[in-house]
Structure 1
Amino acid sequence: MLIETFADLICPWCYIGKGRLARALDLRPGIPLEIRWQPFQLNPDMPPGGMARSDYLALKFGGAERARQIHRMVEETAERDGLPLALDRIRRTPNSFDAHRAIRIAAQSGHGNVMADALFAAYFVQGLDISDHEVLAAVAVGVGLNGDAMKASLAAGTESAAVQSADALARHMGLQAVPCYIFNRRYALSGAQEPASFLPLLDLGVVESANASTPVSG
């Protein structure tokens, strides 16, 4: 079964949703599965160096008080889910383009999903600037990759066209918000749904995969 995860690394609901998908998969052990990360930039016009977190929240939510309300909702949800979260450590909202590239570079050696997990933690737990190539290289080392090779690939523009193309495809498909999960390129589930919401689509995907691999007699 193929699950394509359309998400952005600076989206707290994508972070929460990734954890909930993992919990759903724990309820369906043994499923033959490929999880493929697909990039979606919530802020495609973000300056390359990002912006101060306070300025970003004021622009996005229309003021500090509304931003605090959203933060409380996110923090309460993460706490219920047992996810570590430290929004107060975030000082800048980064441009996430190079972080998406780093995931695709890591995916070339089968490390794409673990890189995504590590980048979520770097941003939402440590408050690191995940647009910084030094940070991306350090995260790569943490998941078993060569940091110097990651920096060289990022400097060379590796996977830039692929990320742009995938992001454009998501918008062409009509995606306007993330996370969104597409199962076997046929069924979609949007939002940071509870683990139980994933189960019917996981079960359906298993049945379809089994049927596709069963030879027709006669």
Structure 2
Amino acid sequence: MSNEQQAIVVDVVSDVVCPWCFIGQRRLDKALAAVPEIDVQVRWRPFQLDPTIPPQGKDRKEYMLAKFGSDEKLREIHARIQPLGAAEGIDFDFDAIKVSPNTLDAHRVIRWAATFGGDVQNRLARRLFQLYFEEGKNVGDHAVLIEAAGEAGMDAPVVTALLATDKDRDAVANEVATASRMGITGVPCFLLESRYAVMGAQETPTLADAIRQVAAAKARGELEPAAD
């Protein structure tokens, strides 16, 4: 069976401020390494955990307290996530995060990264997760986004010019709305060949097995046509 026959597309629906999406990204990377015989194209799709956050963002501590009710509850949540992240090589530093950003502009830059081809979009998604969760940077800030874009291999002056416009704001918002219509209420969600969904930050073997099964089914010509 050739690599060409086994080539599949995995769409990752995620938000850059979702810690489970960061964990899911690391597990997906490991899953891909476990199936080198399969040509997998990864595409990052937008989701906003809270699109109502203003463009300038909100104070992180105030926002999280309003959302979860108490410092104690918040500490419990972080204490549950941190060891899971550590197991994937993630050094979550929740205390370093000062701003809860609106992620629309981050998703616009991720969208543009796809046009550069290669691994640029993957590199950008990884870098934005690192900046927010490990370095406490505001990923709603244009300067942070432009620097990350340049590091990922994008043309920083082009990104600077595009961010100053409304380009693709509606397109990103429409993609987020489409995800909701598809029944995606939480992220990450891994869509294989636009047909099969793996919900949540599943363990690496689960993701690898799903990729193998879908690739094999595609190679046998058994996949149902995708809905319009």
The TM-score with structure 2 as length reference comes to 0.90
Matched, 1:26 2:33: yes
Distance 1:55 1:62 in 2: 10
Q: Which residue of 1 aligns with 2:47?
A: 40
Q: Which residue of 2 aligns with 1:80?
A: 87
Which amino acid in structure 2 is aligned with residue 41 of structure 1? Q
Which amino acid in structure 2 is aligned with residue 35 of structure 1? V
Q: Which residue of 1 aligns with 2:56?
A: 49
Q: Which residue of 2 aligns with 1:12?
A: 19
Task: Judge conservation of contact 2:56–2:101 (CA < 8 Å) in 1.
Answer: yes
Instruction: Summarize deviations over 1:100-152 as a string: whole Å, max 9, x none.
Output: 00101111112222111111111111111111111111111111222221111
Distance 1:73 1:144 in 2: 34
Q: Which residue of 1 aligns with 2:159?
A: 150
The structure 1 residue matched to 2:150, chosen from 133, 141, 149, is 141
Residues 61-210 of structure 1 mapped to structure 2, 5 A cutoff: 61-110=68-117, 111-210=120-219
Q: Which runs of 4+ in 1 moved over 3 A?
A: none
Distance 2:44 2:202 in 1: 18
Cα deviation for residue 87 of structure 1 reads 1.5
Tell me the SS of whatever aligns to 1:108.
Answer: helix
Task: Judge conservation of contact 1:105–1:158 (CA < 8 Å) in 2.
Answer: no
Cα deviation for residue 30 of structure 1 reads 2.9
Task: Judge conservation of contact 1:3–1:35 (CA < 8 Å) in 2.
Answer: yes
What is the aligned length?
Answer: 213
Q: CA RMSD in A?
A: 1.3
Which stretches in structure 1 are left out of the alignment for 5+ residues? 214-218
Name the % identity. 37
Distance 1:109 1:144 in 2: 8
The TM-score with structure 1 as length reference comes to 0.94
Which amino acid in structure 2 is aligned with residue 155 of structure 1? A
Which amino acid in structure 2 is aligned with residue 115 of structure 1? L
Distance 1:81 1:144 in 2: 25
Cα deviation for residue 200 of structure 1 reads 2.4
Which stretches in structure 2 are left out of the alignment for 5+ residues? 1-7, 223-228
Cα deviation for residue 208 of structure 1 reads 2.5
Distance 1:115 1:176 in 2: 24
Distance 1:157 1:84 in 2: 34
Distance 2:102 2:163 in 1: 14
Instruction: Summarize deviations over 1:4-33 as a string: whole Å, max 9, x none.
Output: 111100000000011011111111113111
Q: Which residue of 2 aligns with 1:216?
A: none
Task: Judge conservation of contact 2:32–2:40 (CA < 8 Å) in 1.
Answer: no
Task: Judge conservation of contact 2:24–2:200 (CA < 8 Å) in 1.
Answer: yes
